[in-house]
Amino acid sequence: QVQLVQSGAEVKKPGASVKVSCKASGYTFTKFHIHWLRQAPGQGLEWMGIINPSAGITNWAPKFKGRITMTRDTSTSTAYMELTSLTSEDTAVYYCARERGEMGATELCFDYWGQGTLVTVSS
Amino acid sequence: QSAVTQPASVSGSPGQSITISCTGSSSDVGGDKYVSWYQQHAGKVPKLIIYEVSDRPSGVSSRFSGSKSGNTASLTISGLQAEDEADYYCSSFTSSHHYVFGSGTKVTVL
């Protein structure tokens, strides 16, 4: 069965960086895009970016330009998202999610989600 | 702040039908067929319930249905049940090749 397992909760100080991992299993990692999303406490969902695990090509929402880096390790079927220059407004649960449908036949939505990683930014 | 708007809350009695709207622009919701809906119970991970405007993933109840007219998509829950009490989010692929989410709707079963 498809599973996305994320790394554990993090507490960071303002100005620091955080790197969240997302280990995929139950499918061919390189055939499906992986997205990163977040949800601040009591708020809605926000799309952050996407990585093509096969080619490593990324795209991100404009508000994260210059602060977000998405990478992957195909040998371990793991995707990573690093966010730098953290502020209190980055306190949120961060999710990875798989795009539904293999590349080339994708349905542009998110069918499997990781369990979420709480990142708390506090001095 | 989300550019795609949903009503903050919708409520209904068990057995009734309710509809949640999702209003965007021609650059997102109105632009193509890639509108999806997610159900999120309190403290849980979002779950895909509708994709490509009106398709349901395997295992999702037929009580959930989706539609779209112009720049507004809609999610209808028929035969409302207590287990449907949750937050619901629409999402759309955009002309910028990004994704945008609606502001979210809290569904209360009276």
Chain segment A34-75, per-residue pLDDT in tens: 999 999 999 999 999 999 999 999 999 999 999 999 999 999
Whether residue B99 lies within 8 A of chain A, CB to CB, comes out as: yes
Is residue B104 within 8 angstroms of chain A, CB to CB? yes
Q: With bands split at pLDDT 50, 70 and 90, how would you rate the model's confidence at A8?
A: very high
CA-CA distances (angstroms) from residue B11 to A5, A59, B86? Answer: 34, 37, 11
Find the mean pLDDT for residues A93-102. Answer: 95
pLDDT exceeds cutoff 50 at A76: yes
Chains A and B form CB pairs within 8 A to the count of 59
The residue with greater pLDDT, B40 or A107, is B40
Distance from CA of A116 to the nearest CA of B (A): 7
pLDDT of residue B1: 46
Nearest CB to A109; choose among B2, B48, B97 = B48
Distance CA A36, CA A27 (A): 18
Q: Which of A123, A117, A118, A19 is nearest to A67 (CA)?
A: A19
pLDDT confidence tier of residue B71, bands split at 50, 70 and 90 = very high
Distance from CA of B69 to the nearest CA of A (A): 19
d(CA B96, CA B61): 32
Instruction: Say whether pLDDT at A105 is over 90.
Output: no
Q: Give residue B3's pLDDT.
A: 86
Provide the token pair at B4: 């795609």
C-alpha–C-alpha distance, residues A98 and B58, integer Å: 16
- What are the chain A neighbours of B97 within 8 Å (beta carbons)? 59
Query: Residue B2: what pLDDT?
Result: 53
Predicted local confidence at residue A47, as pLDDT: 97
* Shortest distance, CA A74 to any CA of chain B (angstroms): 24
Mean pLDDT throughout B38-63?
97
Comparing CB atoms, the residue among B34, B45, B89 nearest residue A108 is B34
Strands (E) located in chain A: 3-6, 10-12, 18-25, 34-39, 45-51, 58-60, 68-73, 78-83, 92-99, 110-113, 117-121
- B24–A contact, CB cutoff 8 A: no
Q: What is the mean pLDDT of residues B65-79?
A: 97
Calculate the average pLDDT of chain A. 97
